């Protein structure tokens, strides 16, 4: 990819802290300015019409990297790849995904595409068709930054949807802001009602992780578990499978034991005071 490179951020199981997935995040290795974060160049790529090209490059390389990482560690893992609304509606996404899976040998179930909502999706019917087609071949679909974009609630009608990712803006102050806490709880309840995976982004503290685990969040992602790192470093991290700090799991389990959250008739948490 010439000056573009992929880094991978771990996603862990909320209760065990074991790495179960990784998110592919693109970086620009500028010859003079060094490593440039995506927020500083993707908007320029969008303005110049290169964003879909980057989406496709990242998707293909992430599939090959995921296979290499699994082969080198002997461990199964899911790879999450961000797709912009432009990439979603390019007319090429299904073909690129299927070709990347076939050429790399990655099972479709090990790939999840994260739909970002930084701009409005102009053709919702077209988006629904491509998402359904991706789901029909086994590719997972996640809504990134759920609750902050243009089309969040309408996405819930998509039968191919597999995951809701709670935005970091709600996670960061869930301990101190009643509104953020209520939003997190309601997203988790919605995910459970629709049989979707719930992933919390931006988890930085052990107490946050403990609360989210007790409330039924499936997976956690954030600096507490590691920043995005190059492929080689991720291989080492996964090979050693460094779990959550033991105190985090202890906090979560102690909270559950001391204050079991009320559940409805189906066993789902409906309150987490």
Asked if pLDDT for residue 265 goes beyond 80, the answer is no
Q: Is 270 within the bounds of a domain?
A: no
Whose tokens are 């991706």? That residue is 134
- Number of domains comprising the chain: 1
Has residue 36 been placed in a domain?
Answer: yes
Q: Is the pLDDT of residue 249 over 90?
A: no
CATH code where residue 201 lies: 3.20.20.450
Name the 3-class secondary structure at 10. Answer: strand
Residue 173 lies in a domain: yes
CA neighbor of 253 nearest in space, from 3, 12, 17, 5: 17
Average pLDDT over residues 71-89: 93
In a domain, 238, yes or no: yes
Strand partners, 41: none
In a domain, 271, yes or no: no
Measured distance CA(54)–CA(68) in Å, rounded: 21
Residue 133 belongs to what domain range?
4-258
Residue 251 lies in a domain: yes
The reply to whether 10 falls in a domain is yes
> pTM value?
0.85
Longest dimension (CA), the chain: 60
Q: Which of 44-58, 75-89, 139-153 is predicted most confidently?
A: 75-89
Return the SS3 of 199: strand
> For 190-247, what is each residue's pLDDT tens digit?
999 999 999 999 999 999 999 999 999 999 999 999 999 999 999 999 999 855 554 4
- Is 245 contained in some domain? yes
């Amino acid at each position: 990819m010439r000056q573009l490179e992929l880094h991978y951020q771990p996603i862990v199981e909320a209760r065990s802290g074991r790495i179960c997935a990784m998110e592919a995040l693109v970086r620009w290795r500028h010859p003079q300015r060094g490593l440039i974060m995506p927020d500083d160049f993707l908007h320029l790529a969008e303005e110049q019409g290169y964003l879909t090209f980057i989406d496709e490059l990242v998707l293909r390389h992430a599939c090959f990297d995921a296979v290499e990482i699994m082969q080198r560690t002997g461990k199964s893992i899911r790879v999450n790849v961000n797709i912009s609304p432009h990439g979603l509606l390019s007319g090429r996404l299904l073909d690129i995904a299927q070709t990347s899976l076939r050429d790399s040998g990655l099972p479709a179930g090990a790939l999840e595409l994260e739909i970002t909502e930084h701009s409005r999706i102009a053709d919702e019917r077209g988006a629904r068709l491509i998402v359904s087609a991706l789901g029909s071949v086994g590719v997972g679909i996640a809504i990134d930054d759920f609750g902050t974009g243009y089309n969040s609630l309408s996405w819930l009608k998509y039968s191919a949807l597999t995951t809701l990712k709670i935005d970091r803006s709600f996670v960061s102050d869930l301990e101190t802001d009643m509104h953020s806490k209520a939003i997190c709880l309601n997203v988790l309840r919605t995910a459970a009602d629709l049989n979707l995976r719930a992933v919390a982004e931006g988890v930085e503290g052990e107490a946050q992780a403990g609360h989210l685990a007790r409330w039924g969040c499936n997976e956690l992602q954030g600096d507490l578990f590691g920043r995005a790192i190059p492929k080689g470093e991720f291989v080492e991290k996964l090979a050693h499978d460094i779990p959550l700090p033991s105190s985090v799991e202890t906090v979560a389990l102690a909270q559950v034991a001391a204050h079991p959250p009320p559940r409805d008739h189906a066993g789902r948490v409906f309150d987490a005071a």
